[in-house]
Structure 1
Amino acid sequence: MTAISERVSGPTEQQTSKTVSQSVFDGSRLRVVLLVDVCDGAQQQFLEAYEQMGKQVASVPGHVSDQLCQSIENPSQWLITSEWESAPPFLAWVNSEEHVRMVEPMHSCIRDTRSLRFHIVRETGGEKAAAASGRRLQSEPRIGDGVIRHALTFTVKPGSERKVAELLANYESPEARVDDTTRLCRTSLFMHGNRVVRAIEVRGDLLAALRHVARQPGIRAVEEAINPYLEQDRDLNDQESARVFFTRAALPAVHHVTAGRESEEVERHALFYPARPGMGMKLAELLARQDERAADDPRGPVSRSTVFERDDVVVRLVDVRGGLEAVDPAVALGLADSAQVAELTTLLDEGAAEKGGDLSRLLSLARMELVTDRRSAQDA
């Protein structure tokens, strides 16, 4: 899971935008906290696995330091904290296959984990000390909208797309209320070729919401029904198999902007931007930067936008007044002018980049097919 935080200012732009509620692109340092519940008697095995992982992570670009702590009250409770130069290098590492392989030895001795990510706002010594050391702090406290956004993505076997879409469109919606503090707000499911993207919005605890959904009989049934069509095999009855699948399927939200232009005519759409190898985060940042600028235009058609990114998969979820057909293709794609079109083309994979000169064609290729969009009664 990835928690995203409001962007107040960019690394080179100091202007505050009240419309941007969440982003990883502010350039400030990141503190990652991992709470770990170790199986009884497995403490030494866990320590040895951590020491091996620590040697590897020390060479990861953007990594600054980390600490391993053990509870003084319960020997099964451990805490790993790490500091990173900024959020993007951490996300690039934690969402990589290298990370999946690196942490594998630890999971045989762990009962449960919980990951929390924070931009650093203040520290002892103040901003002068941080500036003297070259460390960047988040400039101001942020105010979000109380909604956590996350997505999952996976691919299905070519030729099975229609069947999978049918299964995913007809599942029984889970109970929106998770507990006294957590509620499911909205689930939007799209397909692009054989790629599935499921975006969810939650108020409260995202992890609790995901576990709540996974326990629902209707959800369990549809997950089992699509298993034969998945390109990546999984066994939901095998905890390790399920963990690896959903780790690889996680598509974190890296930027969200709300322009404050609500309308009954708003339609939700999703656009898929296949990035060149290694360019996914740069592409996501370009789209985030353009969406932030567009949100400041009171006449703009986009009322809300969320950018999701993992490796070379970038998805932009947008709520548009009047639908995409009524919007200039460049604006729909999240671009302001020809200069941004050229920059976008350099970041897209070769197949998509060839269509960069024809924005209508590029928009058509980027559009994802809506499978289902469900909102809880309280949020409808």
Structure 2
Amino acid sequence: MQLADFDFELPRECIALRPVVPRDTARLLAVGAGLSDHRVEELPSLLAPGDLLVLNDTKVMPARLIGRRGSVAIEATLIAPMAPDRWRALVRPARRLKPGQRIDWAAGFSAEVVAKEPAGTIVLAFDRAGEELMAAIESFGAMPLPPYIKRPRGRDERDVRDYQTVFARHAGAIAAPTAGLHFTGALMQALAQRGIGIAFVTLHVGAGTFLPVTAARPEEHIMHAEWGTISPDAATAVAQAKAAGGRVVAVGTTVLRLLETAADGAGGVRPFTGETDLFILPGFRFRVVDRLLSNFHLPRSTLFMLVAAFSGLARIRAAYAHAIAAGYRFYSYGDCCLLEPAAEVPQP
């Protein structure tokens, strides 16, 4: 298996820079034995009563801060708390930063560079802590959009709304679970009326989502761990759906990875709290998830590898080629696909 197996050409005009409005009018490509074009609002008719949708209720922090060190503009993305006043961060430009230097954020608070770490991250100690610090971040931080979405420096209030699911509850992610961005209150109600169950899990999407695969052999790539939890109620909902003959539909790759991490060997999942670094490549045997709702992903990414593992690389290549030709919108603010699993999981 080579990294080049997961490459494809995407015209720049296919990249979505803003989501459609309303959210559930985004396009949906159903990928099974064939391909069929739909809208997300049609999802209830593409599923069956008794199926269970599992969604990620993580909440994205506005974790990107804009500031200055003297005359130098600084941009920091907070990626992990270390103490009530300290965060590990990705900082640009980082090369000339030194421990002891102060960064003044545009909102009037500041942080000191405590350490530069071997992995390229920087430890920042803020001039406030706990709830006071979190309030400042929530009020003045910008959403940590992926690098292919260009924005002027500073906070974009539309992104504060758009880059968050309507069911976000537990703060901690630095990237959105993008398949969940398509859901609206009206769609949730329509699903319930159709007899389709809904369960929530939490996986805080971390810095690893921004990291490209650089190893020529994907098996050598190291996944960063992300924290997640599956409640006893969610685990019970999965078991009951399976026992009644329903299908478990993961809304997003984050949900799929968490469910498969906690698989109990009998088609269900155990209650779980902890970190997962599960890396799914073609050849992986799925034990829990029966369908996957997912956005269209970057070439050579771990997420494209995951969907290729789920539905088969040839089928995914055909689906992506159809989507490009048909004018689907790609990536975080783009359209989505509803994937059936491959009958047999082939190696590329």
How high is the TM-score relative to the length of structure 1? 0.26
How high is the TM-score relative to the length of structure 2? 0.28
Structure with higher RCO (Cα < 8 A, 6+ apart): 2
Task: From the two aligned structures, give the one with the greater helix fraction.
Answer: 1
